[in-house]
Every structure is written in C-alpha cells, then in structure tokens.
Structure 1
Amino acid sequence: MELNLNCLKDLLLTVEKLSTPSNPVTFIDKSYPGYQFDDAYQNIEPLSMYDWDTLLSTAELAENAGLLLKGKASPPKGYELGQLTMDGYDFIKSINNDTKFNKLKNFVAKHALQGIPTLLEIVQLYLNSASR
C-alpha cells in the first residue's frame, strides 16, 4: 500500500480541528447504497476528495504508526477516527506549513520512503538537519 502524504496531512489536521472525545470525526463510504449527507462529517473538506480505500488505509497506517488512537468501524459503512496522540500532534507541528511539507514530500519521493514509522524517523532527522 502506497502512503498518500497529502491524505495523511489532511486526515490529521481534520482530526485536530474537528474531533472531540464525545464527537469524533467519522467518514462514510460514499459508494455504500443509501448513502446520504445527513451527517455534517460525511462531507468534510478536504477529506471528501479522497476515495474510501485511501482514507481507510491512511487511517490504519496512522494508527499503526501511533499518530492516532485506534478508531472503529461505524455501521453501516463508516469509520470513526481515533483522537490524535502526542506523536500525532508532533507530526502536525513538524509539517505545519506548505514549504516544510513540500520539502518533506520531495525528500520522501527522492528516497522512495513508504512506511510511516520510517517516515516519522526521517521527518525528525530532516527537521533537525534543516534547523541547523
């Protein structure tokens, strides 16, 4: 599975902005029969630009990397995202502007990095070297 860094950034920023423990961000598979926009979180920008598989795989990668607490399925065909972890907040802080994020994306592409744990280690090394 290929990591979509734009989706990861958008997912984490959306959780940071909108999610609370009592009202987590939930995204819905728009292809599910009977899908309706009756929930404000079903049409979240910028998440609505990603397909279901990309969102779900990115959420699972973020959970496995420790950026998000474990989410859960939200019937009939949705996914409720977990809250950000401290590592998630640190990751957001490390890519907080477009210049840093674009440099990171170029660096990752150049070195063909795909896994989030590796990416997190590289982000920290990259940021430490860039601040010198």
Structure 2
Amino acid sequence: MKLDPDCIRDILLTVERHTTFDNDVEPKDFSTDGLVQKYGKQKLLYHIRQAGESGLLSRVKFYMAGFSIQDLTPAGHQFLADIRSDTNWNKTKKVAAKIGSTSLQTLISVASNVISDLIEKTMYPK
C-alpha cells in the first residue's frame, strides 16, 4: 500500500487528542474523528502500523477485535508540532513532492527544515 502522508498526520492528531495518562486510543476514537470513514479500515490500520514502526507511536497493539495505542513518542510529538499548522504541513508536502520522496523519514526531515527556515527568517529578517 502506498503511504498517505495526510493519513499519518491525521492519526497523530487523533492520538494526541484522545490519549491521557490513563487512557489509550482505540478504534472508537478514530471513528469519532471520522478517520475510518475518510480512509477506510485497512488503510488506517496500515498507516497506524507504519507510524508505530517508524517510532512515532508508543505501544501499538493489534488484537482480533481492534487495536490500542498508548501515546505519541517524543519523536511523534516533535513531528506533529512541526506539521500542526496547515501552512507548515502544505510546505512540507510540497518540498517532499518536489524532491520525489514522501517516506516518513523524508517528511520528518523536511518538516524539521521547514521549521528551521522559519526560525531563521523570524530571527534574522532580511
């Protein structure tokens, strides 16, 4: 299955929105946020697995009847912070498409560079 960067971002936003210290994220949370309807169950599960294996989600467990996600990892929080704004996310996707790679590692790197560029422009305006 082809990786859908928007699906990854939506997963991270949902996990952040629904996790607490005592509560893991479960399928109902993704239904509540409309992600099952938007992406379909198989695509959503695939992207949850990819985000977990890429170190963005902690303690992803799959069961016969569903799954649970404990939280975002520190790397997941960092990536989400970098792409939270639609402006930064769209710029990240545009740069990734221009260089021809939308792998998670490329997206993470590009997002970090987009933020670094914004910091530099803010601190040292021309």
- The TM-score, its normalising length taken from structure 1, stands at 0.78
Residue matched to 1:51: 40
Cα distance change on mapping 1:97 and 1:46 into 2, 3 Å: farther
Residue matched to 2:83: 95
Residues 18 and 29 of structure 2 are in contact (CA less than 8 Å); yes or no, is this contact kept in structure 1?
A: no
Cα distance change on mapping 1:103 and 1:23 into 2, 3 Å: same
Q: Give RMSD over aligned pairs.
A: 1.9
Q: Distance in 2 between matches of 1:64 and 1:130?
A: 29
Please identify runs of 4+ aligned residues in structure 1 that moved more than 4 A: none
- Unaligned runs of at least 5 residues, structure 1: 28-39
Residues 92 and 107 of structure 2 are in contact (CA less than 8 Å); yes or no, is this contact kept in structure 1?
A: no
Structure with the largest fraction of helix: 2
How many aligned positions are there?
119
Structure with the largest fraction of strand: 2
Q: Distance in 1 between matches of 2:104 and 2:30?
A: 26
Cα distance change on mapping 1:101 and 1:79 into 2, 3 Å: same
Q: Superposed, which structure 2 residues align to 1:107-122 within 5 Å?
A: 107-122=95-110
Residues 18 and 25 of structure 1 are in contact (CA less than 8 Å); yes or no, is this contact kept in structure 2?
A: yes
Cα distance change on mapping 1:42 and 1:107 into 2, 3 Å: closer
Identity %: 30
- Unaligned runs of at least 5 residues, structure 2: 121-126
- What is the one-letter code of the residue matched to 1:9? R
Residues 26 and 74 of structure 1 are in contact (CA less than 8 Å); yes or no, is this contact kept in structure 2?
A: no
- The TM-score, its normalising length taken from structure 2, stands at 0.81
Residue matched to 2:124: none
